[in-house]
Chains A and B, each alone.
Chain A
Amino acid sequence: MSGERSGERFRDVLRGTIDGKTVVARRGATVLETAESVGIRIPTLCHREGLPPDGNCRLCVVETKGKLVISCMFPVREDGFAILTQSPGVREARRFVLSLMLNRAPKAPAILKLAGEYGAGADPRFSRDPDNCVRCGRCVRACRANRTEAIALVGRGFERSVSGPFEKPPPDCVGCLSCAFVCPTGNILYSERDGKRRIWDKEFRLVPCPECGTPVFTEEQIRFLGEKASGLCPECGRRRLASALRNAEPLSGGSRGF
């Protein structure tokens, strides 16, 4: 490694505080990542590891230099940063955000729990037919990340909702359940019985795992994945990979470390 390079590296390490605790951060890391690296928990809703951040729910606000910023996207950029994750301003902002969300999803356990923590009650001025969806868009981002992009957030303002094209069963949906899996409020419902799965008003036939017979994937999913799909359920897939690795010829020369 050249000297210049390591110098650059050195400059990329920043020192500051979170809630008064001295913290070392990588330049450009989000405040959320940095806080989590030292075990400080910040509540999040629209953020989810593995999905591109969107910063739409505003629950993860923190205070820095007297301003509120969203920790899931705000990067740590300078030495001497000072961040507060539980200041009165922060708590008030989260309480407000949660009071709005209670109108959208008054029964969702995740929202109720947070509302309890922050003493939030629903604000009746903004109450409109609750449907258990907080419009965080995690489902849409998951679907997009899978390259199916079968659903979208459609419309504006109060009318905005997650939907397939023309409010009909989405033609591009392969029944993978990713949307239901990432939804923080449990709004996306699906059912499985008799080897069939229903989601988004569409029915899919489940294909039994060729090894153990557990039905996990839909026909459409396997077709969509093409050659990449073995059709094995995750468990059998892991077992097969493990045995392949065990029997593999060791790589000549190099060490096995990363």
Chain B
Amino acid sequence: MTGLLELDDIHTAYGTSLVLFGVSLEICRGECVCLLGRNGVGKTTTMRSIMGLTPPYKGRVRWKGEDVTGSHPHRMARRGIGFVPEDRRIFSELSVWENLDVAQRSAKRPGPWTIEAVYALFPKLRELSKRPGGVLSGGEQQMLTIARTLVGNPELLLLDEPSEGLAPVVVESLLAQVKRLKAEGLTILLAEQGLDFSLALADRAYVLQKGSVRFSGPAGELRENVELRDNLLAL
């Protein structure tokens, strides 16, 4: 396995409020890694640091061995990192198809994920293709935000809390769809508060506490060792 993305001791702040205090992690090609931790520990911030949306003030971000710290988000996207934000950020007044088209034109990365291909993965989106993104339900918006990032043919997908606020049935089908992505060889970094969704998918896990990594290891270890799990994820 070769390292695709590597975070080396990154420190990130929003203005003067420090959030990450030395996060290091590595993601290899084809892996599904999950980033666990309670509310407000810095999972989203880690993803924003990778994407260049909130660049770290200290530490390095390496992509395929190249130092890309402080790159603009659009450059990260064109290098092949796809970000699916937790708040979904659908272009509300653009139709479903327009959302996908804008994403495809933005990333300029042709590949197997065409609009047709994401419609095949999420058939519901094809039916909704003329609807404005803003009127979609939460689950539909979640599909759209994933689809929108996929049409940029990313090599690494940053999935931020995809199951948040969705009904259990919807989460179930979403899980199946993300499993398919994983099976097709897509590298995924998944942030979650809950264990169910993430441990069903992940090969390895990092647990964050107050802006630094408290645990890293195979996901199986967290699945089996209840004591460790409670210890890490309790308040």
Do chains A and B stick together as partners? no
**A residues with CB within 8 A of B:** none
